[in-house]
Amino acid sequence: MTSEVIEDEKQFYSKAKTYWKQIPPTVDGMLGGVVDMVDVTEDFLAKAKTYLGEEGKRVRNYFCCGLQDFSPEPSSYDVIWIQWVIGHLTDQHLAEFLRRCKRGLRPNGIIVIKDNMAQEGVILDDVDSSVCRDLEVVRRIIRSAGLSLLAEERQENLPDEIYHVYSFALR
């Protein structure tokens, strides 16, 4: 209950008013603006800039590199979203990347992974040079990176003939 943590209501509201007076009335001011994009392909980043249009102004940095080489700035992110890319990292590089992501979080920040999951084991896709891991393998890598699994959910309403898609919230 707020009454247990707020001792002086007038001071509580006054501090908020003082804080928000110094914040610019922009999307960056209201939302913090901390959005970065990482992709291994320059063409994909260029297309993202075009696709985003005006919203692209919210992207602070476009990093062109593989995640095995990317280090998020320490204590900079409330959310790090990793979608349909973990299969392009070896187990060791994925664990190392997740450790760097953990260091990149602000207090109470989270890491979200959304990706395909194999039914069993690890399946190599020689065409795009990726792997698809089963849930237990991914959970093991998450634990080895020193992260806790806050939530896990399977996406519903996808065709049965494709990989299952799961989302994980980590801290």
pLDDT tens over the chain, length 171 residues = 667 777 887 887 777 778 777 777 765 666 666 899 999 999 999 999 999 998 888 899 999 999 999 999 999 999 999 999 999 999 999 999 999 999 999 999 999 999 999 999 999 998 889 999 999 999 999 999 999 999 999 999 999 889 999 999 999
Residue count (the chain): 171
Task: List, as own/partner pairs, every contact residues 151-157 make where C-beta atoms lie below 8 angstroms and the sequence separation is at least 24, other chains included.
Answer: 155/114
b (16+ CB within 10 A) / e for 13-41: eeeeeeeeeeeeeeeeeeeeeebbbbbbe
Angstrom distances, CA of residue 118 to CA of 54, 57, 105, 133, 168: 38, 37, 28, 5, 15
**Residue-range domains of the chain with CATH:** 66-170 (3.40.50.150)
Question: 167 in helix, strand or coil?
Answer: strand
User: What is the pTM for the complete model shown?
Assistant: 0.81
Task: Tell me, rounded to whole angstroms, the distance of Cα 152 from its chain centroid.
Answer: 14
CA-to-CA dists, residue 48 to 55, 69, 146, angstroms:
10, 21, 32
